[in-house]
């Protein structure tokens, strides 16, 4: 079972190229701060702009840097089923512990098409698979009924749920097995989803505040609801501000302010507006992150 705080790690660049040294340092920072797992090549990792070679290299670097200390869940999704199979095979061959596979984007498959897509990947590659539903990014929503049907497939073991729809989230938690790992895909929904029975979060915020996000989870598990709630509201301004512009623009800007990476995004993403940058700096200073 995958649980706790799992970081959807950013991909650092330097002069247009992957910054492997910085990526290794980011992984070490995460592990040092008690994180429960790492996702390379997710949306936050700018997977849409990585070449196949870069995609594979990022996965391999993170696996090597993690050294088995935490699970590595490789992002291997695509709107092309054959391409998703190829990426997932590479993740398995490289030693990833699981694959995070986003719903196909742009081509907007039906629920029948989503089931066929995931079933094909699960049958082709013997690796634990975590579904990823983020309709705001992909243009398609995976329903609770579809998730429940896919959860019957042996190596489909969890879901990163980022619909923001509490009714749907309740239906998913009600209709999937206890050992199926439902994880929040939205930091703002992290604490509420824990209360409903989710197992944790795949997080953007933990790129810059891993210890604080872990503290919230561990307070919840220890049944210290007052502390968990306090930490939720302490982190709330950061959770909101990290989405003041398109993810991962704010979180990469924050990581650069912390001196962890160069402030470099890959087009068509661009640098933050000056007004939003000031807001972000103020929130980070308020949490004593910078």
Nearest alpha carbon to residue 73 among 103, 94, 104 = 94
Tokens of 237: 């301004």
Q: Does residue 288 carry a catalytic annotation?
A: no
Catalytic residue (choose from 90, 105, 132, 190): 132
The one-digit pLDDT tens for each residue of the chain (290 residues) are 799 999 999 999 999 999 999 999 999 999 999 999 999 999 999 999 999 999 999 999 999 999 999 999 999 999 999 999 999 999 999 999 999 999 999 999 999 999 999 999 999 999 999 999 999 999 999 999 999 999 999 999 999 999 999 999 999 999 999 999 999 999 999 999 999 999 999 999 999 999 999 999 999 999 999 999 999 999 999 999 999 999 999 999 999 999 999 999 999 999 999 999 999 999 999 999 98
pTM of the model: 0.96
Q: Where do the domains of the chain lie?
A: 4-228
Q: In what order do the strands lie in the sheet with 4-8?
A: 37-39, 4-8, 200-203, 181-184, 156-161, 129-133, 98-102, 73-75
4-228 topology per CATH: TIM Barrel (3.20.20)
How many CB atoms neighbour CB 94 within 10 A? 15
132 is catalytic: yes
Of 90, 105, 160, 217, the catalytic one is 160
Rounded to a whole number, what is the largest CA-CA distance in the chain? Answer: 49
């Amino acid at each position: 079972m995958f649980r706790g705080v799992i970081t959807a790690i950013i991909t650092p660049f330097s002069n247009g190229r992957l910054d492997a040294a910085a990526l290794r340092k980011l992984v070490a920072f995460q592990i040092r701060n008690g994180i429960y797992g790492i996702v390379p090549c997710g949306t936050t990792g700018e997977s849409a702009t990585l070449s196949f070679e870069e995609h594979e290299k990022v996965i391999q670097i993170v696996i090597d840097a993690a050294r088995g200390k935490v699970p590595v869940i490789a992002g291997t999704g695509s709107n092309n089923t054959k391409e998703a199979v190829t990426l997932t095979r590479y993740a398995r061959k490289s030693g990833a512990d699981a694959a995070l596979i986003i719903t196909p984007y742009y081509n907007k498959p039906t629920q029948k098409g989503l089931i066929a897509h995931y079933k094909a990947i699960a049958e082709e590659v013997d690796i634990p698979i975590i579904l990823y539903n983020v309709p705001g990014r992909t243009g398609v929503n995976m329903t609770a009924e579809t998730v429940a049907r896919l959860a019957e497939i042996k190596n489909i073991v969890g879901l990163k749920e980022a619909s923001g729809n509490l009714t749907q989230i309740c239906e998913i938690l009600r209709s999937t097995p206890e050992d199926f790992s439902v994880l929040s895909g939205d930091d703002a929904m992290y604490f509420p989803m824990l209360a409903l029975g989710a197992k944790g979060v795949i997080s953007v915020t933990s790129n810059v505040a891993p210890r604080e996000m872990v503290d919230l989870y561990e307070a919840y598990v220890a049944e210290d609801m007052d502390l968990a709630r306090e930490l939720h509201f302490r982190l709330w301004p950061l959770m909101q501000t990290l989405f003041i512009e398109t993810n991962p623009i704010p979180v990469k800007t924050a990581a650069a302010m912390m001196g962890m990476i160069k402030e470099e995004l890959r087009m068509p993403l661009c640098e933050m507006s000056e007004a939003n940058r000031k807001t972000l700096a103020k929130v980070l200073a308020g949490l004593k992150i910078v």
